[in-house]
Structure 1
Amino acid sequence: MGAAGPAEDRGRIQSVERAVALLEAVADASPEGETSAVLATRCALNRATAWRLLATLEDLGLVDRDPSTNRWTVGFAVTRLAASAGVAGLVRRAHPVLVRVSERTGETADLAVAQRLGLTYVDEVAPPSVLTANWLGRQVPLHATSSGKALLAWLPAADVGALLADPLPRYTATTVTSRRVLRTELDEIRRRGYGVCVGELEPTLNGVSAPVLDGRGRPVAVLSIWGPSDRVTPDRFAELGAVAREAADEVARAAVRGAA
């Protein structure tokens, strides 16, 4: 048998090391991404090997390719992993913001983090005099909640398609089950900066949500304000949406300071 190479001597797998090196090169590239040829050169790989590894990373959601430019950027799966790793710190930094939001609006404020299959609620602050449902630890359908739609609106189209691959179930009379209608709504959400839910998961609950974005503009979490439909009425959506956007931006800045 031939002698093992340095990587194999230490129990390391060369293909994994090459894939990680490519992922790091993609992460170090400009926000517009980089071509596979440039990435191959930076990682001292031939172009065919680099392309195969990038295609595998793309299948796993770790990188994204813009078909119009053939440039590669970091995929949403990396954002999900980063969010999962930093949940405790994110919750600690976001909690005071949730407290202020709840006090200011008189409604419940939630924080949900992006996970592999959607969102998981990790913190919640409710007014002392208000009895509300507890969403901690729950995952909810993305198409039927303001938080889910706020997440989808800032994801690449490929990720949206993957997360909405199955038929969209109807929960109430107002649930959006048409992908075409939902995509139009997601465009509007991105323009105004927050998503809304009008009794789409539970008929008596309304809410607004804004994304917590990382330095590349990817959603790592979502901040929500919600309550009974007789209090969180549509005529309050613009006001509450502005509060949610401001609070989500504050959480994003706090997360950056905490990581520094």
Structure 2
Amino acid sequence: MTTDPDDSEPGPDSVMPARVQSVDRALRLLEVVAATAPRGETVTTLAARCEINRATAWRLLGTLEARGLVERDPNTNRYRIGLAMIRMSASAGYDGLVRRTRHVLERVSEQTGETADLAVVGRHGVTYVGEVAPPSVMAINWVAREVPLHATSTGKAFLAWLPPDEARGLLDLPLPRYTDTTVTDPDVLMAELDGIREQGYAECAGELEPALYGVSAPILTVDARPLGVFSIWGPVSRVPVTRFAELGPIAVEAAAEVRTALQG
């Protein structure tokens, strides 16, 4: 029986190659497919974004689809993340992500004297996975809670960096009113998202809970889509609207630091 040299184990002095091109391309395709969620994208667009030819992308996507890592919508021919990838992600949990970014949460909470939160993007919205509050502050714990997109700075920071039609499609109409300041008109909200993108961070002045104010900045992928959101919030007595201009840039810087930590 002959042994395929490609199947042999490397010796202790062997030098492993830096990367396998086909695997590298497949993983890059997965990253871009994930970045286009929940709408997905066609093979032509995915190939262009990954800078590979369409035939290669089609073969790689076919292999990924056979393993359940991506799925193709037969009506639109758009590829989205498959159930196998979702199961693997769920099994990993968020513990590793929170560990790698907790130092940022702790530093920002100490710097501002307020609560710092990390939220991740899911199929239909954002969910808090990490939080650090000042020791002397009795704060509501938001971890594991999914928040309404239109009534929080976290949700608006997520929506603002999506294509407008995709953002509008995620809104649960009619928009419920939680407080006197909740925006319930979709057109008014969409106009607000334009200003949020220009400013770089979102604000919330008691739109979900009357006494809770805060700011949030998106954690963006290489394709400038929201992967998560970094938030700073507190009671209106400590986080009035006049502090938003101070806290907003801190949230933007922290979001960029989290992105770097996740890439490391």
TM-score (norm 2): 0.71
Q: State the shift of 1:89 in Å.
A: 2.1
Q: 1:95 to 1:60 in 2, by over 3 A?
A: farther
1:256 has 2:263 as partner: yes
Matching residue's letter, 1:62: R
Shift of residue 43 of structure 1? 2.5
Instruction: Give the aligned residue type for 2:124.
Output: L
Which region of structure 1 is more displaced relative to structure 2, 137-146 or 153-162?
A: 153-162
Q: Which residue among 189, 193, 200 is the counterpart of 2:196? A: 189
2:232 aligned residue = 225
TM-superposed CA distance for 1:130, in Å, is: 0.8
Go from structure 1 to structure 2 and tell me whether the alpha carbon gap of 1:100 and 1:80 turns closer, same or farther (over 3 Å shift). Answer: farther
Aligned length: 218
Q: Which runs of 5+ in 2 are unaligned?
A: 1-25, 36-40, 48-52, 61-70
Q: Deviations over 1:72-114 (max 9, x none)?
A: xxxxx9x988976562222111111000000000000011111
Match of 1:132 among 139, 142, 147: 139
What residue number does 2:100 align with?
93
Q: What do you get for the CA RMSD once the two structures are aligned?
A: 3.6
Matched, 1:35 2:53: no
Structure 1 distance, partners of 2:77, 2:43, is 18
Change (3 A) 1:129 1:44: closer
What TM-score comes out, normalization by structure 1 length? 0.72
Does structure 1 retain, via aligned residues, the 8 Å contact 2:127–2:146?
A: yes
Q: What is the CA-CA distance between 1:220 and the residue it aligns to?
A: 1.2
Q: Unaligned stretches of 5+ in structure 1?
A: 1-22, 46-52, 64-76
Q: CA deviation at 1:54?
A: 5.3
Letter in 1 for 2:58: C
Return the alpha-carbon distance in structure 2 between the equivalents of residues 208 and 115 of structure 1. 20
Report the Cα offset of residue 233 of structure 1.
0.8
Distance 1:102 1:25 in 2: 35
Question: Are the counterparts in 2 of residues 210 and 245 from structure 1 also a CA contact under 8 Å?
Answer: yes
* 1:185-218 residue CA offsets vs partner (Å, 9 max, x unmatched): 1111111110000000000110100011122211
- Residue identity opposite 2:219 in structure 1: V
Establish whether residue 161 from structure 1 lines up as the match of residue 142 from structure 2.
Answer: no
The reply to whether residue 172 of structure 1 matches residue 179 of structure 2 is: yes
